[in-house]
Amino acid sequence: MEKLQKNLSYHFSDIALLEMALTHRSVSKNNNERLEFLGDSVLGSIISEELFVRHPNIDEGQLSRLRSHLVRGNTLANLAKKLNISENLNLGQGELKSGGFRRESILADAFEAILGAIFLDSDYLTVKRITLMLFDGLLNDTRPEDSLKDFKTQLQELLQKKGYSLPKYELLQTKGKDHNAIFYVSCLVDELKINVEKSAKSIKRAEQACAQSILEEIKTL
């Protein structure tokens, strides 16, 4: 885990916190879910404050959508990949066999759990410094107009402009129960023969991830 700490520009005083942050619930009841809960709140607070300072002239609704744009699962998973978090994940045999170390929801959860672990190991200002370092490029590229339309809306408008039928979303399955549930959703665009599947902790987030993926694929056509 030395390489991961170097990538984070942070070395833990209590390495057990980092180990816990990397332990998936498929391994043990002592897993990263509580740290993820904490990290999610810390991340939301830091990004909210930074957007508030950077964009003094936009309203609460736009700020909220910009924050959602920055902290969505896909973004966190991509940051996790850059940090090579997957190399250090502690997964149960079932998750290992199914490629859990590549699953966006698992990577995003681990990323948030690590932020929670850093917060407990140090203080708010330290985790804020690290978070802003990791999000620097994303924050610099963020524009207020990004908050105006979500991915589902963007996809729908693009398809309508091209004269295509609306995308078809379908809930494929749900794994887990209550707050641990993971929803698997597909989205089909008939005319383009594009069908993607994504998973997230809510149906809405999974649908947004599908729409985002299709938008990115359309750009390459």
pLDDT, residue 205, reads 87
pLDDT, residue 94, reads 82
Instruction: Please confirm, yes or no, whether 19 is among the known catalytic residues.
Output: no
The dihedral through the CA atoms of 13, 134, 148, 205 has a sign that is negative
- CA 27 from centre of chain: 22
The pair of structure tokens assigned to 35 is 């740290």
pTM over 0.75: no
Percentage of the chain with pLDDT > 90?
66
Sheet-wide strand order for 194-200:
168-175, 182-189, 194-200
Catalytic residue among 36, 40, 95, 150: 40
**74/187 Cα distance (integer angstroms):** 16
pLDDT digits (tens, 9 = 90+) for 102-136: 888 899 999 999 999 999 999 999 999 999 999 99
- CA 176 from centre of chain: 19
Instruction: Please confirm, yes or no, whether 112 is among the known catalytic residues.
Output: yes
Return the axis-axis angle of helices 104-121 and 33-54, rounded to nearest 10°: 80
Three-state SS for 55-90 is CCCCCHHHHHHHHHHHHCHHHHHHHHHHCCHHHHCE
Catalytic residue among 36, 109, 112, 121: 112
- CA 66 from centre of chain: 14
pLDDT, residue 95, reads 81
Domains of the chain, earliest start first: 2-147 (1.10.1520.10), 151-219 (3.30.160.20)
pLDDT, residue 179, reads 74
Return the axis-axis angle of helices 60-71 and 33-54, rounded to nearest 10°: 130
Q: Which residues of the chain have pLDDT under 50?
A: none
pLDDT, residue 5, reads 96
pLDDT digits (tens, 9 = 90+) for 160-171: 999 999 999 999
**143/128 Cα distance (integer angstroms):** 21
pLDDT, residue 49, reads 97
**91/105 Cα distance (integer angstroms):** 13
